[in-house]
Amino acid sequence: MWDLAGGVAVVTGAGSGIGRELARQLAAEKMSLALAEVNEATLKETVGLIGSASAPISAHLVNVADPKQVEQFAAEVLAKHQRVTLLINNAGVAMHGTFQELSNADMEWLMGINFWGMIYGVRNFLPALKQQPKSRIVNLSSIFGIISPAGQTAYCASKFAVRGFTEALMHELERTSVGVTCVHPGGINTPISRNSRLGESASAAVRDVSVALFEKRLARTTPATAAARIVAGVKREEPRILIGKDAIQLERMQRLFPVRYWQIMMRNLKKAAAHGGFQTAAQKSAR
């Protein structure tokens, strides 16, 4: 079991959701924190919610899609904290729309944050992480890095990319002091769905229906629960973390039905809608 106390954690996307809860829980583990967020107001809220911590906390306004800003962020963190033992690339965004409703600019915006933001984080902090006797990189993918729903071409592309990169990096760093973890949250009750951007020609009405369905039926796990699972997994040095029963069940269904899982999911959703209820296709197939 890895004792996190006394270490230095870098958390991106710390202004809300899982990132905010990770900051709070890692502070409780007596880690120093370097928190990054693009929104100054929410970043200040996170720092305020942590209150008086036993270890230093630094707050940094960073757009992770900007390589120069991430490079400067890393320099600031090392100047302030001298070292880094845990890097959590959590910052992420969502977008609604089918591929034909998205422009290239839409895709580039999302990939810039979800994928390239992670790359820039690893690129700039890996040298410092390798200097420690033990350290870890944690990259946030998604259950949509395992399954691919229609209407999520951009998001799935980014999260599959995060997963592929992270697993390859894990193998490359296997004999070093740097461990690597890939996280796959299922439905988490965070603002990411409500704040999802519309594709260039996507329907706002369809997006609103999708968001309502997600928040009512799928977003069953709280950010605090998700963060606790990540912290526990980091302490146990787990290479892969699935968050939520839905993620576990959907991952199992994808392994059992790698081609047919989408048809099974849609059939189950239609039946659930007809009866006014909801049950994941994975739950049904596991009976």
- Catalytic residue numbers, as ranges: 155
Q: What are phi and psi of 229, to 5 degrees?
A: -65, -40
